[in-house]
Amino acid sequence: MILKTSLRSFFAHKGRMVLSLIAVVLSVAFISGTLVFSNTATSTFDRLFASTASDLSVQKAKDDIADGEQRGGKPSTVPVDTVQKLAAQPGVKTALGQVFVQNAILVDPATNKSVGPTSGAPTLTGNWVDTPRNSVDITSGSAPAGKSQIMLDADTAKKAGLKLGSPLRVITTSGNYDFTLSGIVTFRTTNPGAALAFLDTPTAQQDLLGETAFTTVELYGDGSRTDDQLKQQALAALGSGFDAKTAAEQKAENAKGVGSFLNFMKYAMLGFAGISLLVGGFLIINTFSMLVAQRTREIGLLRALGGSRRQVNRSVLTEALILGVLGSTIGLGAGLGLAALLIQLMKAVGMNLDASSLDVTWTVPVASYAVGILITVLAAWIPARRAGRISPMAALRDHGTPAEARANRIRAIVGLAVTGLGAASLAAAGASDKAAQGGELLGLGVLLSLVGFVVIGPLLATGIIRVLGAALPALFGPAGKLAQRNAMRNPRRTGATAAALMIGLALVTGASVVTSSMVSSANAQIDSSVGADYIITGQGPGIEVSPAAVTAARATPGLAHITEQKALRAALTAPDGTTTKTNVVAASKTFTEDFHMPVATGSAEAAFNGGISTDQDFADKHHLKVGDRIKVDYGQGRTQTLAVGAIVSTGNSMFDNAFFTGIDTVAQVIPAADLPGDVAIFGKAAPGADRAAALTALQKSVAAYPQLTVKDQAGYKDLIQSQVNQLLYMVYGLLGLAIVVAVLGVVNTLALSVVERTREIGLLRAIGLSRRQLRRMVRLESVVIAVFGALLGLGLGLSWGVTARKVLATQGLETLTIPTGTIAGILVASAVVGLLAALVPAFRAGRMNILAAIATD
């Protein structure tokens, strides 16, 4: 009977469930789409790695200090005779020497623009070797032969508008080399987003490595030995100094690199989906609360006929279960479409996944149904309990739901207690001296303050809306007064509706405060620390400034000097015997003219003239003072002992956790040929020179190196702001789903409220309220609720953002910036959202027939 009653009730009120259904669908679609996309990408790459990995890959052993990173602008190499040694081993069918580097830059000479990915994926340049498991096939032209030919992958060639016979320049640390495109290759499975360029073997060795060697030797067995046996044989034959990876180990290593990127995307999107589910939960609570209130007499009749509280409770929960199952089913299907859309977006950045083979594992439907049904049923549980407490006689007399005075007292006590704990946690986070501890307290404070505001939201609604709507009667007459009172009539409903908006806007506001503070702090640090007039850096991660580019920059007229900056991995051993692996920054002596280091003791000049600098935290931890000596080990037996020349104050991200020394100092133990390239160079205008003219001349000097950007201080600040804004816009976009669901909540609340007040609306129309006034009343009520939610969200977001900035102050966020423009925009946008959300409910209310509305039961 309960099931039959629930089904009839659900389909009788299906129109009132539509917006709640949409909220479930959107949230589940986000979850299922994310999981399907992640599974598809992971399985695609797994197939790529499995089909192209050699049975054994041999390379130079990783340096314990450098962790296998490239050194001296080129990777570690193995001698050419390694190929013959390994080919002679039992069980080896083929041994091939390969050359591949990631630091070569491809440039189209016709346009002087970089050719390759802009999404952070690498550009791989190497020698063409026809292996038993090629990842690509030659689909046009022929393999490169001689010093003037190069082959390129089809995706990169198409994006750059290159074809057979087109010129292509390769810029390496050793110089610039011009080639002609002889062939096009196409990936067999997927293009992971990288650009691939191939030279013949002698040319690759000479131009990319500067020596006759290989970066790896790839072995393919004849089947008589396992991969592990081949590995043991190879290492035994070569001796120490080599490393070998089986096919399984290569696959795991490659998958780990790709997996970190995919996991970041997956968990970030699932996090925002969770926020949307939370917001949707408030919508579902409101929907079922209002449906229970509207069906008070129906439920009372069911109780009078013998229905127990438990049966009534089950009836409401069964309707929620139906809603959850239906929403999850539709959401699961929509998620497949979302996954296909994500794959198309990845194609736009060069990752050609196959949308025709979506990988839907058993975890996708299980997660979709579990989350969709669980959230829906949990959200409906409170209204269901309330329905079960309806008295049969009170319901038949239309007295409504039971009195909630006691519940409100409990709500006030719990809400204030939780909010107080949240505020205390935020205060403790702001007062913490350690970023890690402060971060933990910040997370706890965000959670508790959010829960607290959700709990006490209904209690705040009456007072705040009374103030917000104070001007409505004067401005809009009876419609304004009625709108104010309607918004205050049911504080619990108003609070739940506003809470949905509050969550999304609080996160947006908090993110805006942090990012604005990041930009202003970076600008302040540039103003106080950077004396250089020009900054030259690579346009992507890992792109160095080649020696040829440095030489061209030095020849620029109007410059006083050029300062080089390099980064080296090293192990620092303090006098107390502890060793720390870190980066050491080696720079020209003119670094002290281009940067104002906040030196606490010692001098910057001493650090760059045969010494080294440390920051205050490192010095305190290891009880260092100026003059103490630190052993610096750069690996490969290259060590030196340097005196501490300067101890730098903390609080500036440019110098925190950094160790500075001179290039001349490092060159005493590392040959010039093995020194890494410059990560950046800095220019200083000559005294009396026109800085704008010098900037133009410098840009012209390095115009042949399009992988570099040349900025003055103002341009560098703009670059930082644009990078931060990209992150912020991504957050805004992902939070947009939560805000859409919140807007659906406002629409749903108003729509159900109009149905609930049908008789009241008919009476108002009967005593003279016009259709126009009625529509205005509904719109104003919506605007007041939306602005109320925005104010709560702004308050929470500001407290979170200000505290987060305080926690990160030791990491360089010293300047607090409140984005007043964003805050004003949020308030205006909230009012507009409230106005738009009320359009359909207001229109329906205005169309009601007066007599039919009055006669409504």
> pLDDT of 387-399, one tens digit each?
666 666 655 554 4
- For 461-470, 701-710, 748-757, which range has the lowest pLDDT when averaged over its residues? 748-757
Average pLDDT over residues 172-187: 90
Residue partners of 373: CB distance under 8 A and separation at least 6: 321, 324, 325, 328
Residues 6+ apart with CB under 8 A from 453: 415, 419, 499, 502, 792, 796
The average confidence (pLDDT) of the chain is 83
In 3D space, the residue among 623, 633, 629 whose CA is nearest the CA of residue 642 turns out to be 629
- Lowest-pLDDT range of 217-231, 727-741, 812-826: 727-741
Does the pLDDT at position 720 exceed 50? yes
Mean per-residue pLDDT, 537-545: 79
**Residue 474 burial by Cβ neighbours in a 10 Å radius (0-12, 13-18, 19+):** exposed
Q: What angle do CA 558, 559, 562 make, to 5 degrees?
A: 160
Least confident of 69-78, 278-287, 411-420, 714-723: 69-78
Determine the average pLDDT of the residues in 435-454.
Answer: 86
pLDDT at 402: 46
Write the CA distances from 127 to 53, 97, 99, 142, 183, integer angstroms. Answer: 17, 9, 5, 14, 13
Q: How far is CA 583 from CA 483, 638, 649, 656, in A?
A: 63, 15, 18, 12
**For residues 183 and 139, what is the distance between their CA atoms, to the nearest angstrom?**
8
**pLDDT score of 301:** 65
For the ranges 17-21, 122-126, 460-464, 792-796, the maximum mean pLDDT occurs at 792-796
Q: Given pLDDT bands bounded at 50, 70 and 90, which one contains residue 1?
A: low
Nearest to 395 by CA among 320, 474, 299: 299
Q: What is the largest CA-CA distance in the chain?
A: 103
Residue 605 pLDDT class (50, 70, 90 cuts): very high
pLDDT bucket at 798, cuts 50 / 70 / 90: very high
Segment 571-584 shows an average pLDDT of 90
Indicate whether 150 pLDDT > 80.
Answer: yes
Dihedral sign of CA atoms 401, 402, 407, 408 in order: positive
**Which of 175-179, 271-275, 438-442 is least confident?**
271-275
Residue 149 pLDDT level (bands cut at 50, 70, 90): very high
pLDDT > 90? residue 62? no
If one counts every other C-beta atom within 10 angstroms of the C-beta of residue 756, the result is 16
Encode pLDDT of 634-646 as tens digits: 888 889 999 999 9
11-15, 450-454, 597-601, range with greatest mean pLDDT: 597-601
User: What confidence tier does 794 reach under pLDDT thresholds 50, 70, 90?
Assistant: very high
Interatomic CA distance for residues 776 and 771, integer angstroms: 9
Q: How confident is the model at residue 606 (pLDDT cuts 50, 70, 90)?
A: very high
pTM, two decimals, is: 0.76
pLDDT confidence of residue 298: 66
Residue in the block written with tokens 């990995």:
53
663 pLDDT higher than 90: yes
Q: Scan for tokens 């709507």, then name that residue.
A: 469
Q: What is the residue whose two structure tokens read 């007039």?
A: 533
pLDDT of 399: 44
Task: Give the side-chain half-sphere CA count within 13 A for 675.
Answer: 24
Phi-psi region of 212 (alpha: psi -120 to 50; beta: other; left: phi over 0): beta
Q: How many helices (H) and strands (E) does the chain have?
A: 28, 25
Residues present in the chain in total: 857
Q: Pick from 327, 339, 340, 338: which is nearest to 369 by CA?
A: 327
Please report the pLDDT score of residue 126 as a whole number.
92
- Calpha distance 459→493 (Å, rounded): 11
Lowest mean pLDDT among 383-397, 436-450, 562-576, 707-721: 383-397
Q: What sign has the CA pseudo-torsion 722, 727, 728, 733?
A: positive
Q: Cα–Cα–Cα angle for 849, 855, 856, nearest 5°? A: 90
Residue 3 confidence (pLDDT) above 60? no
